[in-house]
Amino acid sequence: MTATMKFSEVITNFQMSRAAVRNGPVNPRDYSPSTRTGLNILGTLPQGSILFGMAEDGKPLLLSLTDPHPGSILVTAERACGKTHFLKMLIQAAALLKQPGEVEFFVLTCYPQDFAHVDAPNHLQGVWSAEDESASELIYEIACRVETPAKRQPTMLLIDGLDAILQLDPIAQKNLAYILENGPQAMVWPVLTANANMIVQWPDWLACFHTRIYGRVSDPNTARDLTPNPGAPLNRLLPGTQFCMREKSQWLKFWLPTLPA
């Protein structure tokens, strides 16, 4: 199932220069719009939505957190191709909203230091190490939110790396599988990042994600294992800042906004 993404009717001034990309190396920051620019143009994002990126036509790409159809979300690419940056961008974009605290974020990772400088006190509820016993408690608490949602506030569980899942004990993994299957219906949105060559080795976990967002994958065999759909531009994406996904039987490419300094 592909994601149900909604586009703003407001067109930004950002347009990618295709000729520059063809003619030689480019600095991704020269072509990535800033998060603050996109939000300034939108003003306040629609209630219960989050910024995912900027489409090639210059429109902000939004995900409605009140529409469960996209299901759990996988962000996969080669190593060092922007997966962690993707998660940090989600948090930072939410922190720039005019209504603080609208979306809560919980981060599970094997490398908590990667999120040490994310400044979003009204949104980021904490960063848990997958190797700590408290990780299992976090997964249980989120699963309880899914089972008996006490409030209609969007929650995003960001899991940075398939390794974080594999570190969990069997009970926590079972609770996580429950979240992946049922979370979006309760406005609890799991977003997992995974190295492309690893996630294809764990088909049971791969099958849990209805929406798959791809960064650069240069190996054709891995790309074919990830998506059987023809025309996937995975080997042509700019590492670290450009991603794509299937939308209405077509491949949609988009850019990550740069985080403010």
- In a domain, residue 260? The reply is no
What was the pLDDT predicted at 92? 87
Residue ranges in the chain modelled with pLDDT below 70? 1-45, 97-101, 259-261
- In a domain, residue 215? The reply is yes
What was the pLDDT predicted at 156? 96
71 DSSP 8-state letter:
-
Quote the mean pLDDT of the chain.
82
Query: What is the phi/psi pair of residue 214, to 5°?
Result: -115, 135
Per-residue exposure over 208-235, b if at least 16 CB sit within 10 Å of its own CB, e if not: bbbbbbbbbbeeeebbebbbeeeebebe
- In a domain, residue 41? The reply is yes
- In a domain, residue 51? The reply is yes
- In a domain, residue 261? The reply is no
- Report pTM: 0.84
What was the pLDDT predicted at 260? 56
What was the pLDDT predicted at 21? 39
CATH number at residue 32: 3.40.50.300
For 237-253, what is each residue's pLDDT tens digit? Answer: 999 999 999 988 889 99
What was the pLDDT predicted at 9? 30
Domains in the chain, number:
1
- In a domain, residue 48? The reply is yes
Question: Which residue range forms the structural domain that includes residue 148?
Answer: 5-255
What was the pLDDT predicted at 10? 28
What was the pLDDT predicted at 32? 53
Say which residue the tokens 């989600």 belong to: 90
Query: What is the phi/psi pair of residue 192, to 5°?
Result: -110, 135
Chain centre distance of CA 148: 25
